[in-house]
Amino acid sequence: EDQVTQSPEALRLQEGESSSLNCSYTVSGLRGLFWYRQDPGKGPEFLFTLYSAGEEKEKERLKATLTKKESFLHITAPKPEDSATYLCASRGGADGLTFGKGTHLIIQP
């Protein structure tokens, strides 16, 4: 059974204070590692898909990286509008995604 574990559960940063979110996964035959952002009461917003170890993708202040066991979402010089829950999900043998519980990120001005 696929498993995805995210840490920390919650993270509070000052504006401009860079940090990383962790996603550990156990998946048989990984066919994609996904990162989403979810705001309260809304559906997940797609950020990145990573397919193989060593792959990196960037978008504005976010960079996602992938190893054989983990993925990291690096946030550089975050702003208050980056506050959200960040979800990591895997696709293995089935087409549906297995989600972690998310990291609730708060950026204080």
SS3 106: strand
Q: How far is the CB of 100 from another protein (least distance, A)?
A: 6
Other Cβ atoms within 10 Å of 11 Cβ, number: 17
Residue span 29-58 as binding mask against another protein, x where in contact by CB under 8 A, dash where not:
---x-x-x----xxxxxx--x---------
Q: How far is the CB of 72 from another protein (least distance, A)?
A: 18
Q: How far is the CB of 7 from another protein (least distance, A)?
A: 13
> What tokens appear for 41 in the block?
């009461």
Contact between 86 and another protein (CB under 8 A)? no
Nearest CB to another protein, comparing residues 65 and 98: 98
Beta strands 70-75; 62-66: pairing state:
antiparallel
> What tokens appear for 73 in the block?
């979402």
